[in-house]
Structure 1
Amino acid sequence: MIHSSTVVILGSTGSIGTQGLDVISRHPERFTIVGLAAGGAHIDLLARQAAEFHVPQVAVFDKTKAAALREALDQAGARHTQVQAGPDAVIAMAGSGANVVLNGITGSIGLEPSIAALKAGSQLALANKESVVAGGHLLFGAQTREDQINPVDSEHSAIWQSLRSGSHAEVARLVVTASGGPFRGMKRDQMTHITPEQALNHPTWNMGPVVTINSSTLMNKGLEVIEASRLFDIPPERVAVTVHPQSIVHSMVEFVDGATICQASPPDMRLPIALGLSAPARMPNVAAACDWTKAAEWTFEPLDDEAFPAVSLARHCLDASEKHTAVLNAANEQAVHAFLDHRLPYLGIVDTVKAVLDSMDAELRGDPLFRDVEEMEQLEREARAKADELIDKQ
């Protein structure tokens, strides 16, 4: 007999959230959605989701959208759904004690909801990598039991699955794969005039704008190296990156005897989302498998650090301190938004992040760990302000 799990979805109108709801719609006997939260940019979609899944409560980050959400819910036929608004409401929903909390929020604002979910004893299906990058030890300190975090990023889910083949002591390296993004093979001097429209045209994945730009600069891969090292307790020098344009092998684990175990499937985020919701069990009818009746070619290439310096910069921050990785993430978010607004050239994204880190390095090397979330948020504000100052000068 299958027991139904209660689920809260944070970021329900985004890429992870909508695909998570698609997975749940195929397995209604397994899941009951007890809460949805979103930023507030897509009120009508949030209302339709609440109506379709008979959700008892919804929360919206933007307090100014509460009235519009109430009206949209009424129009969608979800008059009995309760509305909460503001960041505290989202955190409270995350900490409400659901069996599983799927965190698909983009950005470090996802950290406090992640901590709340863990403290409430929920299983955390984590797609918000910034929770680990910006405040790793704060997050891990909130765990109440081992294996409470289910990685949902495709790369970390692949590593998580591959690690079932051996013990931690038997791991030689983690190998994180990268598609290479839309500018794979380009040299740095060829990227001078790249536009946001070009950078948003990812060859294999359909993601939100910030993640897509991060994928094009390979900053996403830098953040994933940080996340992999911290999630799986593997030293940074034993986390490798290889470029795999087909995006079929989602990452690998190399063991001490020379064996390498990989997880392979066509690029479809529903697979890691589903496992994040149902682990340790696997569900049927989630995503298509590889078609072994057709010829296929999988290629792997070394990373061009000169053209894409973001991964090296992330490694430097990982070696330095948790505060460095928080500044890396905050400055990058600011630079990406400036690029999308046509206020910063493409190459200026990573250059700005490096300049912010250089300017704040002495300050960051004092006490390497955050005492609490408030201290992390204060440092992020400093990093964003410094990034804005540098962007304005350009």
Structure 2
Amino acid sequence: MMRKLLILVVLTLIVLAGGIPLYIQRSYKEEVVAGPSVTDVFKLSKYFDGIKGTIADTDVFELKGAEEGGKTLIIAGTHANEPSAALLAYFFIENLEVEKGTIYVIPHFNRSGSLGPQPGGGFPLYYFVDTPWGEKKFRMGDRGFQALDQWPDPDVYVHYPDGQLLSYIDARNTNRSWPGRPDGYLAEKVSFAAMEMIRNEGIDVVIDLHEAEAMYPVTNCIVAPEKSMPYAIGAAFYVKGREKFENHVESSPAGYRGLSHREIGDWSDAYPFLLESPGVHLDQITAAKTPELIIDGIDPFVLKAGEKGLLFVPYDENGFSMDRRVGQHSSVIQEILSQWTKKNPDRGFKVSAPKHADIVENGLGFYFKDPSEADEDKVFLQ
């Protein structure tokens, strides 16, 4: 009897030791300070009440200029294990100046995935950005909705409405669930809510932010469907010629369904783009997936793979830092909007924020505001 009791106590302690840190992380709130261009903050459920009160509902930040113009939706956190997306969203919320047009920013599109790391992935619970006022702490997330929030998985995920058969795990993937449906899986409902926003607000440009492995061919690039391609090509040429970093263009495949850069353009008048920055922490061959790896992007095994010609992005001992990844997103987004404005002046934009070179030189943390020094009504918990 005592032996069974001892085993039970040990098992209970093991469960608590593993479960309590995950519970604390799920409850941890990231802080963002609304910058001067933020004019409103509301829930995505404004456009579809089917996600109201659920883990899928998430904040939308509106940054509106004094002059009327076009409308852009920036989606971050589709895959919450790709952190440069959420950090770019926070960076824009705090620093983007909007004089013409309206920019909507969603920091955690896959809010469920942002609340816990990928099971079995070996990722840390948190990562940290150094700022002039101290260390800023962020949750490390999962690629898809957590099973805790959407269960059970189907044997095969059948994409709506095309009927294409996808992996079972894609039922929780918010970049396989577009255009969504009101009575589908929770991941499909959040995509449907975003589509309703895009259609009802008359969004012109949608930019979905991601990171991809250095060993994955679709990385360090802009992915665009046919109608968005001229703007993507113009932006890629500009940043290579003027800002001196590589960011090539990939065509959105017409035969692979559920992707934001395909379905958004097919199901609305909006012009979609998907941006990939190289996140080497996602590569399977890395050493320990530490908070430092997430931030500095330096790994000896990825470097060795690069020496053997196995990577799809230039990589050296300096790594591919968070400063570079967020800086790249900032520059490419601003140039896409510039290219759009040249061809659509009546629906154009006038925006500005620090770009790649400034962020690399100063460090991303330099641009984050201290929440303790900000007005209480300007600080939002995510």
TM-score, normalised relative to structure 1:
0.28
Greater share of strand: 2
Higher RCO (CA 8 Å, separation ≥ 6 residues):
2
Structure 1 or 2: more helix by fraction: 1
Q: State the TM-score, normalized to the length of structure 2.
A: 0.29
